[in-house]
Amino acid sequence: MTLTAGTIAALVCAGVSVLVVLGVRGQVEDFEREKTTSAALEVVHLIKRDRLPSTLPAGDTVALQVLNASGRVVSSSPNLRGDPPIASFQPTEQSVYTIQTLCPPAGLKGCMNVVAFRVYQPDGDWTVYAADDTIPWYVSSTLVLFLICVSFLLVLVTVLGCWRTIDQTLAPVDAISAKLSEITATESGRRVPVPPNHDELRALAEAANATLDRLDAALEQQRRFTSDASHDLRSPITAARTQVEDALLYPDDTDWPDVGRAVLGSLDRLQAIVSDLLELARLDAESARQGTDLIDLADVVRAELDRSPRAKEIVTDLVPGAAVRGDRLRLARLFTNLLDNAERHAVHRVRVIVRPDADMAVLEVIDDGAGIAPGDREIVFQRFTRLDAARSRDAGGTGLGLPIARQVARAHGGTLVIEDGDATGTVATGTTPTGATSTGATASTGVRGGRGARFVLRIPRADDERRPGDS
């Protein structure tokens, strides 16, 4: 930036210097022309008064010369004594004088501006020549030296001022860079200094600090994730190892089928955790992609409910028309995770609702359990997060089902949130635990319990399934 500023200053100074030289040269040329003309007019005045000497005083003019009507030199300045006429041109019949530049005039050196005056005399027209040096393009070396010195000083002042200003301006950037270089994963609590001025650098520092805040939160989440994952992975491995070691101590008294079933249970839990971790990794890698199949959420719910029996009563209210475009297997996994979570925490029943809502397809899974406090409704979607109540009631959960469900929802352009539960639990009559939707009138079945947890999934409906007036 300093080099650029210095170059621009030098170009500006060069341009201004050229303009100054051109302006001064024009003024000097006019002055010299007037001076030469005045000297010639003085000689004309002497001729008219018949007081012309044989030797003319040159004064400030380089050369003066007078020719009579026959073209003979009758008077001249000392430097032209005895020389022939310095020029051969004369003013036209319609003019009194004319000016030409000769390089050089006869008997002189260098280019000169020569003024020729026609003077009427009784014996004919006389001619007066006055010659003076032409002005060089640079006018004078003194002017050029002066302009060079001034330009150099201006460029120097510009460069130093620009360097100082930029150095002071970027000093906060150096401080930010130095602080950022000191921040590591083990010392991530530091923050960059914020400049006092409300400018772009302050905004940069604040943005950097906000980024560091997010990084700290991510690192903390990663630490918790690693700790919880290590604990959850270690538990089934430790249990299986303990069971095998105990059996090996007393092999003759061991019921090996029971040991195999116990170890298989631990392996099933370990496999579930690993599968959920792999699913989350795939969802993270494919977050920008989703399927394009036309899927009715009601059909997905029915298929999953028919797939296996449930320990709690499942009450459904499935309205057709909630069609979306996406991946059927992923949506089925989402619903299964929500249903498994609700079943683990329900007291008696779980309610499943599918309905179109304007341009959204809505899936609700409501249990009649103790519910989730508003402050914990986002925490439960963090990986390996299991509330204390969940840990005490559910020893088999991996803590990854709800994060997977939310990732699937986001991959389909939707949202998954926890809203206030349905205290009354009013549902349509005629529903069955298998998920078949009733076609009869509605009435209260008295599905009650605690406040309950209500998970609500909203995904944009497929364009070709939207109808005017949908509600």
- Mean pLDDT, residues 235-244: 84
Dist CA 227 CA 269 (whole Å): 18
User: Residue 411 is encoded by which pair of tokens?
Assistant: 């991959």
Per the model's pLDDT, the better-predicted residue between 225 and 424 turns out to be 225
Kindly list the domain boundaries of the chain, sorted by start residue. Answer: 2-133, 210-285, 293-465
Give me the pLDDT at residue 58, please.
65
Segment 275-292, tens digit of pLDDT: 777 776 676 666 545 667
- pLDDT the model gives residue 387: 65
What does pTM read for this prediction? 0.47
Contact 301, 276 (CB under 8 A): no
Query: In this predicted structure, which of 103-107, 244-248, 330-334 has the lowest mean pLDDT?
Result: 103-107
Q: What is the homologous superfamily of the domain 293-465 according to CATH?
A: Histidine kinase-like ATPase, C-terminal domain (3.30.565.10)
**Lowest-confidence region among 34-48, 114-128, 229-243, 346-360:** 229-243
Residues 97-121 as b/e (b if ≥16 CB within 10 A, e otherwise) read beeeebeebebbeeebbbbbbbbee
Q: Which band of pLDDT confidence, cut at 50, 70 and 90, is reported for residue 223?
A: confident
pLDDT > 60? residue 431:
no
Task: Express each pLDDT in 11-33 by its tens digit.
Answer: 999 999 999 999 998 898 888 88
pLDDT of residue 4: 92
120-133 mean pLDDT: 88
Class for domain 2-133, per CATH? alpha beta
pLDDT at 228: 63
Q: 419 and 344 in contact (C-beta within 8 Å)?
A: no
* Residue 466 CB-density burial (10 A; 0-12 exposed, 13-18 middle, 19+ buried): middle
pLDDT of residue 150 exceeding 90, the answer is yes
Q: Give me the DSSP letters along 14-42.
A: HHHHHHHHHHHHHHHHHHHHHHHHHHHHH
Distance CA 356, CA 466 (A): 9
Whether the pLDDT of residue 430 is over 70: the answer is: no
Alpha helices, H only, 250-285: 256-285
**pLDDT confidence bin for 393, thresholds 50/70/90:** very low
CATH classification code of 210-285: 1.10.287.130
> What pLDDT score does 465 carry?
55
87-91, 289-293, 303-307, 353-357: lowest mean pLDDT where? 289-293
Sign for the pseudo-dihedral over CA of 390, 392, 396, 399? positive
Report the percentage of the chain scoring pLDDT > 90: 21
